[in-house]
Structure 1
Amino acid sequence: MNLTQFEWVFQMESDGNGVILDVRTEEECNDGIIPNAINIDIYQGQVFIDKLEALDKTKNYYVYCRSGARSEKACAVMNNLGFKNAFNLLGGFLDWDGEVVSPED
């Protein structure tokens, strides 16, 4: 499901079962990440699928990439793998105006 930044943040902040998932490359993450995000690079193919399979499918996933296209695909993959709730951030990190931290924080 696609959500605007306002909807994504509002829903995530009131979600006690939410996980933020960043599907960008490591190089992109070096420019900053949304706080508490887990990075799993969608370009890793089967490794990406394997890492998704290791996640708790009962949680709600708030997914983003650079512009929203890869994260939309990631949400579709997650739905096909049995994840019930995967929410795509429309506009991605490019349009994000919330807090940003370095990946090491």
Structure 2
Amino acid sequence: MADLSQEAWMEQLSDDENAVILDVRTEEELEELGMIPNALHLDIYESQEFMDEIQKFDKNKSYYIYCRSGVRSGQACSILNQIGIDKAYNLLGGFIEWEGDVVTK
């Protein structure tokens, strides 16, 4: 797992052809605040569904993960590392510090 500043996260993401953006917040947070464009949503609090879905992830891809503040996404990165996904990048500060584009559901 790597914790990246917003600037480093965005820069690395833009140069990564195998990138997947993963939003691990709740559905309520998504509806209230929106999300980063092209992000896949998978609520980490729905633990069984979360575990089932990440088992299907391509281990050759890079996962750029965020939540509201950076704590849950850090946990998600650790979980991905445990199942053999080495390229998991946590957005430090999370969505509340995000300055890029946002889409609403």
- Relative to the length of structure 1, the TM-score reads 0.96
Q: Which residue of 2 aligns with 1:11?
A: 12
Kindly provide the CA deviation profile for residues 38-59 of structure 1, in whole angstroms up to 9, marking residues without a partner as x: 0000001121111111111110
Q: Structure 1 residue runs of 4+, over 4 Å off?
A: none
Give the whole-Å Cα distance in 1 for the aligned partners of 2:41 and 2:59: 17
From 43, 52, 55, the counterpart of 1:53: 55
Aligned to 2:68: 66
C-alpha distance in structure 2 between counterparts of 1:70 and 1:4, whole Å? 16
Deviates more, 1:48-57 or 1:1-10: 48-57
Q: What whole-Å deviation, never above 9, does each CA across 1:13-66 have from its counterpart, x for those lacking one? A: 010110000000011111200000000000011211111111111100000000
Task: Give identity over the alignment, percent.
Answer: 52
Within 5 A, what are the aligned runs for 1:1-105?
1-30=2-31, 31-103=33-105
Equivalent residues, number: 103
Query: What TM-score does the superposition give when structure 2 sets the normalisation length?
Result: 0.96
Note the residue ranges of structure 2 that are not aligned, 5 or more in a row. Answer: none
